[in-house]
Amino acid sequence: MIVLGHVGYHVGRLTGVEHVNMLMETVEEFVGLSLKTLRSNDVKPMANKKKYVLGLPVLGTGYGMATDLTGEVLASILKLASWLVESNDDLDICLCCADEGTFCMAQSLRRKMIKEDVGVWRGFRVLGEVEGDRLRDAKALAARKELSIFIGAGVSIGAGGLSWYGLLEEIEKNFQTPSLQNKYKGNPSDTLLVADSLDKMCAKPDKNNVTKDLKTRIAELTNRPFPSLLMALLASLQPAGAITQNYDHHAEIALNNVNLRTRTNTVSIIPYRQIKGASTWLLKMHGCVSSKSDIVITKSDFEKFEESKLKALSGLVQGELMTSHMLFVGFSMTDGNYLRIIREVREALDNRKSNNSTSSTP
């Protein structure tokens, strides 16, 4: 592990410019040493990423006693980090700000620098006009508590999670060379059929002579401690609520972190930990790693879900679709359960329009 920290300000020995330059030399040395170590040891980027992601603190501006140089340090780090990312195809850098003020200053400087010298800032992805307008619309809706987020498996991939197919394939590897997905490819219920086959496999010992049921294996693979950067960014919108079919704790961790920072109420997690008066709610439709028996993955699980009181959870989703704005992220629009919910909402809206037209006819 390579750690960069405790970089202090040499009081009385250096001018402000000299100090900032020395900090940038430290940053460049840290990045160079990190890349050299990772490459020489053939370390693969984490969380299925194509690039290494290095966390870089805003050096020297905390206990390093250079708080009055924060602006200069930030501007220099942003410029240097952009150049380093441009110069290395396998590198990405995440700037870690200790407080909200530093973060806001970094964002302001970034926007200003992009505007003034686009050529220097190719390392930053700039949204187009249409995408920017949509993002501002989503932010405005969230501020009015009129936005809910539907979180799919794709959101967790950045934290090392797996897609639904990837999750099932990873489990199948414990028993045989993955082939079930090819067998059921093209079938509308292919994920259910694969899961059903795996459920039967898991009743017997695997290649390592270990016997674990399917839901235990799923819980172990999805129980990762930290949410992805994308999940953290979505939580920072502070939506009215969120819905997920994922089993991990990433959504509640990210939402709770935002609430702690803003000193708002904790998150109400439906149906596991419901809190009256909570400022944000999270609906976990298909179970949670902390309650493995509730995980919905096989055909029989879905049938039981439809017949149980948990079907009311689908009603909450339908209500949100009918009365609020919903942002879908990292979610497959081919999921059979989701499509059924959408179909029922459309039918309900069509019936309401039809009834309104009938009642208004003289």
Could you read off the pLDDT of 33-55 as tens digits, one per residue? Answer: 999 999 999 998 877 778 898 98
Assign 360 a pLDDT band (cuts: 50, 70, 90).
very low
**What CA–CA distance (Å, rounded) separates 185 from 230?**
30
259 belongs to a structural domain: yes
* 249 and 320 part of one domain: yes
Contact partners, residue 182, CB within 8 Å, separation at least 6: none
CATH of residue 232's domain is 3.40.50
307 belongs to a structural domain: yes
* 188 and 146 part of one domain: no
| pTM score of the predicted model | 0.76
65 belongs to a structural domain: yes
| 3-state SS, residue 146 | coil
- Which helix H or strand E contains 94, and what residues bound it? strand 91-96
131 belongs to a structural domain: no
Give one DSSP letter per residue of 230-291, joined into a string. Answer: HHHHHHHT--SEEEE---SSHHHHHHHHHHHHHT-PPEEEETTB--TT-SEEEEETT-BTTB
The total of structural domains in the chain comes to 3
Assign 249 a pLDDT band (cuts: 50, 70, 90).
very high
* pLDDT, average across residues 270-292: 89
Could you read off the pLDDT of 57-116 as tens digits, one per residue? Answer: 888 776 656 677 888 989 999 989 988 998 899 999 988 888 888 888 998 888 888 777
pLDDT at 362 over 50: no
* 254 and 202 part of one domain: no
| 3-state SS, residue 106 | helix
- From 117, 66, 124, select the one nearest 95 (Cα to Cα): 124
* 274 and 329 part of one domain: yes
**What CA–CA distance (Å, rounded) separates 76 from 81?**
8
Both tokens assigned to 146: 């009129």
Main-chain dihedrals φ then ψ at residue 225, nearest 5 degrees: -75, -25
Q: Which of 77-86, 224-233, 311-320 has the lowest mean pLDDT?
A: 311-320
Give one DSSP letter per residue of 20-80, joined into a string. Answer: HHHHHHHHHHHHHHHHHHHHHTTPPPSTT-SSEEEEEE-TTSSTTS-GGGHHHHHHHHHHH
Domain boundary among 222, 239, 256: 222
Residue with tokens 């400022």: 279
Assign 289 a pLDDT band (cuts: 50, 70, 90).
very high
Q: Which of 3-17, 120-134, 205-219 has the lowest mean pLDDT?
A: 3-17
125 DSSP 8-state letter: P
Structural domain including 335 reads 139-158+224-354
* 205 and 310 part of one domain: no
- Position 356 scores a pLDDT of 57
Strands 91-96 and 147-151: unpaired
Q: Which of 171-180, 202-211, 255-264 has the highest mean pLDDT?
A: 202-211
